[in-house]
A and B are shown apart, each in its own frame.
Chain A
Amino acid sequence: MDNLNLTQHTSHRFNEELEDVRNRVLQMGGLVEQQVNNGLKALLEFDSELGEQVVNKDHQINAMEVEIDELCTQVLARRQPAASDLRLVVMVIKTITDLERIGDEAEKLGRVAISLSSQSRRPAYYAELRHLGEHVKAVLRDTLDAFARMDVNAALKTAKQDGDIDREYDTLSRLLISHMMEDPREVRNILEVSWCARALERIGDHANNICEYVVYLVHGKDIRHTQSRSE
């Protein structure tokens, strides 16, 4: 997919550098997606071993962020990119920050999974948590697809789901509060689950940001902070 014509510069080395940057972001996105999926799985299935894996893998994502940042700095210094090339580098620098934070949220899921793994039975509210988690996973996957294909329409469609995620999070929060009131002995556990719900909601926000960067990259239009309050 080369709708940015990344391979058509007069300088072949410039082509390679931009391709390299883009491929590494895709790679980083793949790893982040895997971390979120595993973190959620570990949490929902009380799998402490998988939780450990997620926690131990987060440093890989951090290292990739640093690496890609360095590459982008080099491209800026050596190539002085303009127009779509410039927008690509700028959006990549922002995108990897959001990806790294998604990685941090996944790590949180992993940590809570470890701490809750001693539980034997699945609490009632886990169905809602699973639902929110599946929704966030789908949004993250669609976001990374939109980035890979530089597909503005897909990005806009995906960005529109952030409101749904926020509403699901609110509903789940209310549910958790009522469970806490019903059974104060569970407060500690429910608080942990509440942090996970929060982490999932944040992942949705970061995915939303990346969708906005895709629009900026392809159309040069910054659509951040343009949503109306009523939505």
Chain B
Amino acid sequence: MSTYTAPPTPSTESAATTAEAPDLDAQLASFTGTVGDVRVADAKMSMTDVDVHYGTAQAIHGVSLDLGKNEVMAMIGPSGCGKSTFLRCLNRMNDTIEICNVSGSLTLDGEDIYDRSQDVVLLRARVGIVFQKPNPFPKTIYDNVAYGPRIHGLASSKSTLDDIVEQSLRRASLWEEVKDRLDKPGTGLSGGQQQRLCIARTIAVSPEVILMDEPCSALDPIATAKIEELIDELGKNYTIAIVTHSMQQAARVSDRTAYFHLGRLVEVGVTNDIFTNPTHQLTENYITGRFG
């Protein structure tokens, strides 16, 4: 005889939506605060009540979320849900957009990254970012990777710089493929190789956090598998936040998953739970393909 008793039906189920007629008001009504634990014991970055406005339009509504040390966090959600906007707040990439206004508290190791005294260039060295489309500099493979360490003065000699370049390329699993043509242009590599070059460029400055904004959406499955392998590897030493449209990718690479919808953080939880038994109906609908 089982001792299990059925829990009461959650009220969120009333907000079940259909593919034919997504009712935004009903979806918003079903959102009564983030489901799941947004805080972790050892947070690397900690965000509290983050609002983002583009002019008068609000893109992010009161999002609170921690990124733990050596944790891979996947951010998923439909197009326009604010996941990329939120990611870009984490190293102030939104500063470049004039009408963009970020409020709330965002800290890295407890320090406010939006403080007046914060050196943004230094911040972006500590919190690196990899974009959707590989964007190597029109320079040699070597110079692409050496660029960051040079401007941040991380290498005192040519041999130290050589070491950094080799180590970064090795960690990005690219070294074996490019070691004989380091003086060739980075733009001559294949798409997947270019993306790994960009990751090598990012890790060359020893960041503490790596942000990835759909890093595999322009890549074929083999290149994608290599990047995912790399994320597994890097996740041991870095804090990684990855925005992805591929739910299978989020399920494969992340420790925790955050589901964004209409600028709200709807649910955050351990990836295994999110993909087998999500709590919020909106999360369930999205990951099972129940609205477009």
Give me the interface of A with B, judged by CB distance under 8 Å: 5, 8-11, 14, 80-87, 152-153, 156, 159-160, 162-163, 212, 215, 219-221, 223, 226-228, 231
Pick from B1, B277, B283, B291: contact of A162, CB under 8 Å: B1
Check if A10 sits within 8 Å of B292, measured CB to CB.
yes
Q: Does B6 belong to the interface (CB within 8 Å)?
A: yes
User: Max chain B CB contacts within 10 Å: which of A5, A86, A162, A228?
Assistant: A5
Pick from A82, A220, A221, A227: contact of B1, CB under 8 Å: A227
CA A220 to CA B19, docked complex, whole Å: 23
CA A103 to CA B283, docked complex, whole Å: 39
Look across to chain A and name the residue whose beta carbon is closest to the beta carbon of B290: A8
Check if B6 sits within 8 Å of A219, measured CB to CB.
yes
Q: Does B159 belong to the interface (CB within 8 Å)?
A: no
Interface residues on B, range: 20 to 34
Check if B289 sits within 8 Å of A156, measured CB to CB.
no
**B285 / chain A contacts, CB cutoff of 8 Å:** 8
Check if B288 sits within 8 Å of A215, measured CB to CB.
no
30 sample A-B contacts, Cβ–Cβ < 8 Å, listed by A number:
A5-B290, A8-B16, A8-B18, A8-B19, A8-B285, A9-B19, A9-B290, A10-B289, A10-B290, A10-B292, A80-B248, A82-B251, A82-B275, A83-B276, A84-B284, A86-B276, A156-B2, A156-B4, A159-B2, A162-B1, A215-B2, A215-B4, A219-B6, A220-B276, A220-B277, A223-B2, A226-B3, A227-B2, A228-B1, A228-B3
**B223 / chain A contacts, CB cutoff of 8 Å:** none
Check if B6 sits within 8 Å of A153, measured CB to CB.
yes
Closest CB pairs A-B (n = 3): A220-B277, A223-B4, A231-B1
Inter-chain pairs besides A8-B17, A82-B251, A152-B6, 5 sampled, C-beta below 8 Å: A14-B289, A83-B276, A83-B288, A215-B2, A219-B277
**B275 / chain A contacts, CB cutoff of 8 Å:** 82-83, 86
User: Max chain B CB contacts within 10 Å: which of A8, A84, A162, A212?
Assistant: A8
Please judge, given known A-B contacts A5-B16, A8-B19, A87-B276, whether A227 and B3 are in contact too, CB under 8 Å. Answer: yes
**A14 / chain B contacts, CB cutoff of 8 Å:** 289
With both chains docked as a complex, state the minimum distance between the C-beta of B287 and any C-beta of chain A, in angstroms: 4
**A8 / chain B contacts, CB cutoff of 8 Å:** 16-19, 285, 290
Q: Does B110 belong to the interface (CB within 8 Å)?
A: no
**B292 / chain A contacts, CB cutoff of 8 Å:** 10
CA A157 to CA B4, docked complex, whole Å: 11
Total of A-B residue pairs, C-beta within 8 Å: 76
Q: Which of B1-24 contact A (CB under 8 A)?
A: 1-7, 16-19
Pick from B16, B248, B276, B291: contact of A10, CB under 8 Å: B291
Give me the interface of B with A, judged by CB distance under 8 Å: 1-7, 16-19, 247-248, 251, 275-278, 283-285, 287-292
Look across to chain B and name the residue whose beta carbon is closest to the beta carbon of A225: B2
Check if B4 sits within 8 Å of A226, measured CB to CB.
yes
With both chains docked as a complex, state the minimum distance between the C-beta of A49 and any C-beta of chain B, in angstroms: 39
**A231 / chain B contacts, CB cutoff of 8 Å:** 1
Check if B1 sits within 8 Å of A10, measured CB to CB.
no
Pick from B2, B16, B19, B276: contact of A226, CB under 8 Å: B2
Check if A156 sits within 8 Å of B5, measured CB to CB.
yes
CA A185 to CA B290, docked complex, whole Å: 66
Look across to chain A and name the residue whose beta carbon is closest to the beta carbon of B284: A83
Check if B289 sits within 8 Å of A11, measured CB to CB.
yes
**A5 / chain B contacts, CB cutoff of 8 Å:** 16, 290
CA A221 to CA B279, docked complex, whole Å: 12
CA A69 to CA B47, docked complex, whole Å: 46
With both chains docked as a complex, state the minimum distance between the C-beta of A16 and any C-beta of chain B, in angstroms: 14
Check if A212 sits within 8 Å of B289, measured CB to CB.
no
CA A84 to CA B274, docked complex, whole Å: 11
With both chains docked as a complex, state the minimum distance between the C-beta of A84 and any C-beta of chain B, in angstroms: 6
**B3 / chain A contacts, CB cutoff of 8 Å:** 226-228
CA A221 to CA B290, docked complex, whole Å: 22
**A160 / chain B contacts, CB cutoff of 8 Å:** 1-2
With both chains docked as a complex, state the minimum distance between the C-beta of B245 and any C-beta of chain A, in angstroms: 14
Look across to chain B and name the residue whose beta carbon is closest to the beta carbon of A85: B288
Look across to chain A and name the residue whose beta carbon is closest to the beta carbon of B277: A220
CA A9 to CA B287, docked complex, whole Å: 10
CA A40 to CA B83, docked complex, whole Å: 60
**A86 / chain B contacts, CB cutoff of 8 Å:** 275-276
With both chains docked as a complex, state the minimum distance between the C-beta of B18 and any C-beta of chain A, in angstroms: 5
Look across to chain A and name the residue whose beta carbon is closest to the beta carbon of B278: A83
Look across to chain B and name the residue whose beta carbon is closest to the beta carbon of A4: B288
Look across to chain B and name the residue whose beta carbon is closest to the beta carbon of A3: B13
